[in-house]
Amino acid sequence: MPNLNPKKTPMPEQDPAVRRRNFSEVALGYTEEMAVQEAQRCLQCKNAPCMNGCPVNVHIPAFLRHVAAGEMEEAYQTIVETNSLPAVCGRVCPQETQCESKCVRGIKGEPVGIGRLERYVADWAMAHRGETAARPQRNGRKVAVIGAGPAGLTCAGDLAALGYEVTVFEALHAAGGVLMYGIPEFRLPKEIVQKEVRRLEALGVEVKTDMVMGKVLSVDDVFEMGYEAVFLGTGAGLPSFMGIPGEGLVGVYSANEFLTRINLMKAYLDEYDTPIVRPKRVAVCGGGNVAMDAARSALRLGAEEVSVVYRRAEEQMPARKEEIHHAKEEGVVFRLLSNPVAVHGGEDGRVTSLECIRMELGEPDASGRRRPVAIPGSEFSLPVDCVIMAIGNSPNPLIRTTTTGIEADRHGCLIVNEETLQTTREGVYAGGDAVTGAATVILAMGEGKRAAASIDRYLREKRA
Ligand code: FAD
Ligand code: SF4
Ligand code: SF4
């Protein structure tokens, strides 16, 4: 008999008043008893609509059946058949628009907490299974992966499992991409990402950090070094700015830079002397997940007041509902229907205020959302010492502008064959945000997987 409770088993969390001043994980994870209870809410639907919402087709009813029976090892094996980063996806997948959005339990109540259970199983495996990995037999053929984000790491792992000698070239000093430099510790502990990187290294993947490809080595150099195929998983790390006056003042950051200083350069640890403004009053411009991460991180750095400035209404905010809810609980102020028009500074060149104008919603635009229109004469000023721009990112052009034959569309996204993910140059494949523009971890992983299968086919045919 399934558990008929219409609500998800609540996730234990740190108290908002405490967690707003620390970087420890907000969600504390289910106990085994909670996990079993939640998994028992699954109706084991024959057609499993939830699976259609998962970009990598995790066999959800099967893994939930195992959890409900207390068979955690079997549950883990079921998940990793299709998803190599369950501890990450269970934490950061936007489940409410993916797997859980299709769950039939969601029709008359809350869907099954698929993400929470995936996290539980992955954490159980980390605690009980160790980091063993059998090194596969090598086939003597070399593949290079550029970029160590979820797309690159997944592609590298799949190719290494097939016997290829894989080298990952990463520009930063740590592998993980946005998982390391963007998503904050309080949502995704970095140790989880590093365990995953170590698992790949144990499979035989070589990770070379501090390699800004396109500067240190070109793609042509890589082929000359004996690599027979290249995967580009370079992400979308080039931040956009609004183009308003005052963006050059001291104290104006892109969200990427602000979060990188906190996460990768460890400003969140007291023992690190990371160069970063320790702001008192902060305005974050934007309404997506990146804006929520920047706002909540600013609070944890010690800011007294943090405002999110967004030009549309809350219903139009692209951020996950859960992130907005958490940000509100922690005291972030939402200044909606407000658009920044200028940053002002003092004689010392530091930010003193953000000038905004109030907006109202007009007719729908091309995206179907009602277009925000400025209300003349409604300007107002927010006294702040830091402004963080979180209005979007695009792919960095470095690789394609230093390599012949790799083409991109007008947004800078690499053009690939939809089926094979080969770019416009033979032997060079691409996937993840570098192709789609800023998207999600699980979509990037799905493309890394598909590209690995294509590269394998290409190299087998090349030799035949
Ligand atoms: P990335 O993760 O960007 O990795 C690309 C890697 O390539 C980086 O390590 C970069 O340093 C490296 N690189 C770039 N250029 C070069 C070069 N020339 N040479 C060598 N290396 C290079 N998604 C979710 O699903 N859930 C979330 O909660 C979520 N939160 C997010 C929060 C933030 C702050 C941000 C910025 C993004 C978030 N995303 C989230 C989006 C998600 O992280 C990305 O869609 C995903 O990481 C894309 O993976 P990727 O491998 O394509 O690229
Ligand atoms: Fe859901 Fe993401 Fe897990 Fe797929 S990988 S089942 S979308 S949490
Ligand atoms: Fe279980 Fe929901 Fe999937 Fe049905 S749709 S199998 S109830 S998780």
Q: What is the CATH number of the domain that holds 35?
A: 1.10.1060.10
On whether both 344 and 427 belong to a single domain, the answer is no
On whether both 369 and 267 belong to a single domain, the answer is yes
For residue 87, the CA-to-ligand 1 centroid distance in Å is 17
Q: Would you say residue 449 lies in a domain? A: yes
Any bridge partners for residue 70, and if so which?
A: none
For ligand 3, atom 5, the nearest C-alpha belongs to 103
The pLDDT assigned to 81 comes to 87
Q: What is the CATH number of the domain that holds 303?
A: 3.50.50.60
Angle, CA of 125, 131 and 133, to the nearest 5°? 110
Q: Which atom of ligand 2 is nearest to the CA of 100?
A: 1
Q: Would you say residue 77 lies in a domain? A: yes
Among the bound ligands, name the one nearest to the CA of residue 155: 1
On whether both 39 and 92 belong to a single domain, the answer is yes
Instruction: Give, for ligand 2, the residue of 99, 120, 121 to mutate: max count of ligand atoms closer than 8 Å to Cβ.
Output: 99
85 Cβ closer than 6 Å to some ligand 2 atom = no
CB 115, CB 83: distance < 8 Å? no
CB 35, CB 139: distance < 8 Å? no
Q: Would you say residue 6 lies in a domain? A: no
The pLDDT assigned to 157 comes to 92
Extract long-range pairs of 24-31: CB within 8 Å, 24+ residues apart. Answer: 24/185, 24/186, 25/185, 25/186, 25/187, 25/189, 26/186, 26/187, 26/326, 27/91, 29/119, 29/120, 29/123, 30/116, 30/117, 30/119, 30/120
On whether both 258 and 358 belong to a single domain, the answer is yes
On whether both 156 and 25 belong to a single domain, the answer is no
pLDDT along the chain (464 residues), means of 10: 87 93 93 97 96 93 97 95 90 93 95 97 89 79 97 95 96 95 94 90 94 94 96 95 94 95 86 84 96 96 95 91 93 96 95 96 83 94 96 92 91 95 97 94 94 97 80
Task: Note if the pTM is more than 0.95.
Answer: no
Q: Is 321 helix (H, G, I), strand (E, B) or coil?
A: helix
For ligand 2, atom 5, the nearest C-alpha belongs to 89
Burial class (CB in 10 A: 0-12, 13-18, 19+), 344: middle
90 Cβ closer than 6 Å to some ligand 1 atom = no
Q: Would you say residue 274 lies in a domain? A: yes
Instruction: Look at the chain and report how many structural domains it folds into.
Output: 3
323 Cβ closer than 6 Å to some ligand 1 atom = no
Domain termination residue (choose one: 100, 129, 158): 129
The pLDDT assigned to 133 comes to 64
442 Cβ closer than 6 Å to some ligand 2 atom = yes
Domain termination residue (choose one: 389, 405, 425): 389
On whether both 92 and 164 belong to a single domain, the answer is no
For residue 395, the CA-to-ligand 1 centroid distance in Å is 10
On whether both 196 and 245 belong to a single domain, the answer is no
On whether both 368 and 247 belong to a single domain, the answer is yes
On whether both 159 and 55 belong to a single domain, the answer is no
How far apart (Å, rounded) are the C-alpha atoms in residues 308 and 299? 12
Q: Which atom of ligand 3 is nearest to the CA of 43?
A: 7
Q: Would you say residue 137 lies in a domain? A: no
On whether both 250 and 304 belong to a single domain, the answer is yes
On whether both 152 and 198 belong to a single domain, the answer is yes
Q: How many CB atoms lie within 10 A of CB 153?
A: 32
Q: Would you say residue 4 lies in a domain? A: no
Extract long-range pairs of 41-47: CB within 8 Å, 24+ residues apart. Answer: 41/2, 41/3, 41/4, 41/5, 41/8, 41/9, 41/105, 41/112, 41/113, 42/2, 42/68, 42/105, 42/112, 43/2, 43/104, 43/105, 44/2, 45/104
The pLDDT assigned to 131 comes to 60
Q: Of 210, 172, 162, 166, which Cα lies nearest the Cα of 193? A: 172
CB 344, CB 313: distance < 8 Å? no
Residue at 235: amino acid letter? G
CB 131, CB 198: distance < 8 Å? yes
Domain termination residue (choose one: 129, 159, 192): 129
The pLDDT assigned to 199 comes to 84
On whether both 104 and 225 belong to a single domain, the answer is no
Q: How many CB atoms lie within 10 A of CB 2?
A: 13
Instruction: Give, for ligand 1, the residue of 100, 217, 221, 234 to mutate: max count of ligand atoms closer than 8 Å to Cβ.
Output: 234
Q: Would you say residue 8 lies in a domain? A: no
Q: Would you say residue 9 lies in a domain? A: no
Q: Of 426, 421, 464, which Cα lies nearest the Cα of 158? A: 421
Q: Which residues constitute the domain of residue 194? A: 142-237+394-463
